[in-house]
Amino acid sequence: MKKQNISASALLVIDMQRYFLCKDAPAFLPPPARLVPNVLDLIDLFRAAGRPVVFTRHAHRRGSDTGEMGRWWRNYLPWAGTRHAELIPEIAPRQGEPVITKTRYSAFEGTRLAAYLRRKRVSKLVICGVMTNFCVETTARHAFMKDFEVIVVSDACCSSKTRYHRASLLNLAYGFARISTTQQLLHSS
């Protein structure tokens, strides 16, 4: 893996919320020890460089059409207005940094993310967060289809199982995204 340059980039922090990262949550996945510190290092890097940082959270309104997500996961969804829909306390968006609520795996589906990134003249999207095999991978593929250059940070995202994480990275590297590490990004700017 080669060093990556973050000029013309935005950082997209996917679903770093209580629903996945707090032990009492329904979809808790035991994160690797370096997940949160690596994500925080990336946030600091992009802020210091004056580059956009965008956060997402997955949350459904009760009574809304949950579509295929609801049929697949049934009552196993994060609900808006609940504690689990909140970002973890360590992840604190600053004023002006968007927090996009999404109801599908892709952060682009049904949101204004693409328009925001175009307004900010972003051509490269660096993606981290959870879960690699669902929202990270789907968003990375969708970004590629929208003609963004995509970088997925392998040690700043995770899944419920290591094999899912690795399989997603392998698939993405074959034709959708460059795979990098936190250290490679930190040392490239």
Which are the catalytic amino acids? 15, 102, 135
CA gap 99, 157 in Å, rounded: 18
Closest by CA to 182, choosing from 104, 111, 127, 135, is 127
Radius of gyration of the chain (CA): 15
User: What count of other Cβ atoms lies within 10 Å of the Cβ of residue 71?
Assistant: 8
CA gap 71, 85 in Å, rounded: 19
Query: In this structure, what is the dihedral angle of CA atoms 23, 98, 188, 149, given to the nearest 10 degrees?
Result: 100
Q: Coil, strand or helix: which one is 14?
A: strand
